[in-house]
């Protein structure tokens, strides 16, 4: 019996990922402005999907209020740049501050279970929206622009935002990968499957869930700050809209809940549908809802979950793979 943490597919995938990352780094040298802007949006979508999957897919914490952290990430960036700090430094600082704020939030939110947690997060996001509206700097729903970006030329701004989004996505995915392969990641998935059983073998559910909650909050806030940078304007009702969480849920459910590859695949599919059919108006939203419903009915594990089940392919293994286990081996045990 052998226990492996990688396979032939994952080794090839690693080579492809490295080559793709290098290609994306040098892409601005010859890509058009429109391509860079669209790829920036894709990177942010992948971050949002991966962070929601961190909570719900790997931790069993279904939230419909992640727009709280997305909105706070954008709002805090506005506030920090108003102090005269570079907007690109402000993006990182804002994500860190929101991550710190999520610590006390997690203390009482994680006491809620299942549907109570989901609704509680939505209520908290609504409260955050109202509080941000009270800030005179924001001017209510009128909003404000990230005027600090005007110190850069349009070309430099576009390049910096593209690279910031690419590096942020890469760092968060890499961090999530190693966290899931750590003892904390294994503990979190055990809590998701059966919290009482995990607690009985010495796992501290509250502490583990808290760290995952903070990580997801930090990543979502970073996505919000990056979206603000590429959109350049901030309106509370836009950034604190539950629509953002609906997009995250769609990407993860369609791609594959609880699968590392699933969130990325879901984000790619959502990005493609948005790019091709966004001009269809309300029918675009109807189409998204129909796809989500069909996937829930016929592909409950998502597209990647179905591929993984039928073909046994795992490109990014975050668990253990047991090989060479036979009936004779079990009898000898």
Domain assignment of residue 273, given as a range: 2-326
Q: Judge whether 252 lies within some domain.
A: yes
Domain count, the chain: 1
Handedness of CA 215, 101, 52, 72 (dihedral sign): negative
- For position 201, what pLDDT does the model report? 73
pTM, two decimals, is 0.90
Asked if 265 and 115 count as a contact pair (C-beta separation under 8 A), the reply is no
Q: Judge whether 121 lies within some domain.
A: yes
Q: In tens digits, what is the pLDDT along the chain, a chain of 333 residues?
A: 555 566 666 778 888 899 999 999 999 988 888 899 999 999 999 999 999 999 988 888 889 999 999 999 999 999 999 998 999 999 999 999 999 999 999 988 988 887 899 999 999 999 999 999 999 888 888 888 888 888 888 888 999 999 999 999 999 999 998 888 888 778 887 877 777 777 777 777 788 888 899 999 999 999 999 999 999 889 999 999 999 998 999 999 898 888 888 899 999 989 988 888 777 777 777 777 777 788 878 888 888 888 887 877 777 767 655 555 554 554 444
Strand partners, 144: 234
Asked if 70 and 239 count as a contact pair (C-beta separation under 8 A), the reply is yes
3-state helix, strand, coil in the chain (%, to 5): 75, 5, 20
Residue of 316, 320, 260, 308 lying closest to 5 (CA atoms): 320
Q: Judge whether 332 lies within some domain.
A: no
Asked if 158 and 33 count as a contact pair (C-beta separation under 8 A), the reply is yes
- The 10 Å Cβ neighbour count of residue 277 is 14
Q: Judge whether 9 lies within some domain.
A: yes
Asked if 221 and 69 count as a contact pair (C-beta separation under 8 A), the reply is yes
Q: Judge whether 94 lies within some domain.
A: yes
CA distance 331 to 328: 5
Backbone angles phi, psi at 312, to 5 degrees: 70, 30
Q: Judge whether 202 lies within some domain.
A: yes
CATH number at residue 47: 1.10.3470
- The 10 Å Cβ neighbour count of residue 86 is 15
Q: Judge whether 331 lies within some domain.
A: no
Q: Judge whether 273 lies within some domain.
A: yes
């Amino acid at each position: 019996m052998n226990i492996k943490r990688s396979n032939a597919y994952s080794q090839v995938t690693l080579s492809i990922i490295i080559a793709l990352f290098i290609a994306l780094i040098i892409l601005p040298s010859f890509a058009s402005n429109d391509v860079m802007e669209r790829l920036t949006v894709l990177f942010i979508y992948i971050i949002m999907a991966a962070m929601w999957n961190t909570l719900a897919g790997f931790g069993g914490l279904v939230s419909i209020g992640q727009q709280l952290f997305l909105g706070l990430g954008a709002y805090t960036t506005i506030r920090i740049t108003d102090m005269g700090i570079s907007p690109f430094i402000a993006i990182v600082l804002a994500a860190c501050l929101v991550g710190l704020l999520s610590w006390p939030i997690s203390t009482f939110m994680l006491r809620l279970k299942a549907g109570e947690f989901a609704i509680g997060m939505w209520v908290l996001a609504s409260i955050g929206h109202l509080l941000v509206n009270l800030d005179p700097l924001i001017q209510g729903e009128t909003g404000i622009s990230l005027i600090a970006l005007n110190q850069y030329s349009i070309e430099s701004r576009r390049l910096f935002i593209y690279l910031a989004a690419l590096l942020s996505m890469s760092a968060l995915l890499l961090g999530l990968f190693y966290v899931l392969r750590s003892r904390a990641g294994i503990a979190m998935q055990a809590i998701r499957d059966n919290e009482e059983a995990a607690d009985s073998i010495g796992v501290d559910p509250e502490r583990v869930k808290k760290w995952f909650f903070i990580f997801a909050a930090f990543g979502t806030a970073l996505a919000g700050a990056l979206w603000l940078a590429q959109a350049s304007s901030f309106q509370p009702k836009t950034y604190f809209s539950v629509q953002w969480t609906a997009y995250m849920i769609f990407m993860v459910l369609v791609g594959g809940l609880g699968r590392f590859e699933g969130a990325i695949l879901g984000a790619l599919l959502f990005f493609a549908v948005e790019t091709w059919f966004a001009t269809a108006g309300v029918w675009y939203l109807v189409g998204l809802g129909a796809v989500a419903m069909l996937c829930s009915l016929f592909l409950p594990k998502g597209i990647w979950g179905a591929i993984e089940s039928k073909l046994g392919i795992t490109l990014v293994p975050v668990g253990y793979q047991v090989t060479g286990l036979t009936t004779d081996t079990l009898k000898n045990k």
